[in-house]
Each structure stands twice: as structure tokens, then as C-alpha cells.
């Protein structure tokens, strides 16, 4: 087996996450799908780090994890704020700007 197989898995996971963002309606599930996409990107970074024999990919993956943690904190705070004002966690209900 070659380490490139990890890249195929990461590609599949990223695609599944992207579909989830488009298809699911619950804001929290959409957010989890974004996390899945970030994780898939991390897997590619770690695999490329191994393929190229340097540790730079792992450093960037580490930074991605920190950014993802920040994103979760702020994003979930936004979801809770929206839920408090509209009593709904569905992304279809937050369409005030449309009308």
C-alpha cells in the first residue's frame, strides 16, 4: 500500500462534509460537517508531510486545529445567539434579510 491512499480517504471525507453542509438543515449538524472538512484537510496535510519527509505539513495541521477550535467557539456562540432570539436552530429560519 502507498501512503497516497490516505489522500483518497481525505478526499472522500471532504466531499461528504461538503454535501452535508449543503443538504442538512440543522445549524449544528452543518457546523459538524464543516469540522469534518477541516479534519479531512488535516489528514492531507499530515500525509503530505510524510510523503515529502518534512514536518512542515504537521505544523500547518496543528495551526488548522487551533483555527478550528476558535471557529467552533465563535460559531457555536452565534448559533446559541440565533437560537435565543428565534427559538430555532434551523438555518432556513434565519432568513430575515431575504424579505
Partner 1 sequence: MLEIQTPETIMFWILAPVSVLAALGMLLVKKAVHSALLLAWVMVTLAIFYIAQGALFLGIVQIVVYTGAVMMLFLFILMLVGVDASDSLTETISGLRPIAITAAVGFGGLFVSLIGRATIGHKPYGLEFANSNGNVEGLAKELFSTYVWPFEVISALLVTAALGAMVLAHHQRTIARPSQREQSIARFRTGSLAGAAGLPSPGVFARHNAVDVPALLPDGTAAPTSISATLKARGDMLESQSFELSEVDNTVTEEK
**Closest distance to partner 1 from the beta carbon of 99 (Å):** 15
The percent helix, strand, coil of the chain (3-state, each to 5) is 80, 0, 15
Which C-beta is closer to partner 1: that of 18 or that of 96? Answer: 18
Which C-beta is closer to partner 1: that of 13 or that of 97? Answer: 13
Cell representation of residue 60: 500547518
53 in the Ramachandran plot: left (φ > 0), alpha (ψ -120 to 50) or beta?
A: left
- Binding-site string for partner 1 from residue 52 to residue 91, where x marks contact by CB under 8 A and - marks none: xxxxx-xx-xxx-xxxxxxxxxx-xxxxxx-xx---xxx-
**Distance from C-alpha of 96 to C-alpha of 73, rounded to nearest angstrom:** 24
- How many residues interact with partner 1 (rule CB under 8 A)? 71
Residues of span 14-53 touching partner 1 by CB under 8 A: 14-20, 22-26, 28-29, 31-33, 35-36, 39, 42-43, 46-47, 49-53
**Closest distance to partner 1 from the beta carbon of 75 (Å):** 9
Residue 7 three-state SS: helix
Amino acid at each position: 500500500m502507498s501512503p497516497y491512499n490516505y489522500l483518497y480517504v481525505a478526499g472522500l471525507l471532504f466531499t461528504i462534509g461538503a454535501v452535508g453542509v449543503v443538504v442538512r438543515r440543522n445549524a449544528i449538524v452543518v457546523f459538524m460537517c464543516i469540522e469534518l472538512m477541516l479534519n479531512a484537510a488535516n489528514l492531507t496535510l499530515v500525509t503530505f508531510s510524510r510523503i515529502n519527509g518534512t514536518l512542515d505539513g504537521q505544523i500547518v495541521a496543528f495551526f488548522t486545529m487551533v483555527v478550528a477550535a476558535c471557529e467552533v467557539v465563535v460559531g457555536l456562540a452565534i448559533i446559541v445567539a440565533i437560537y435565543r432570539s428565534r427559538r430555532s436552530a434551523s438555518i432556513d429560519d434565519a432568513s430575515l434579510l431575504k424579505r
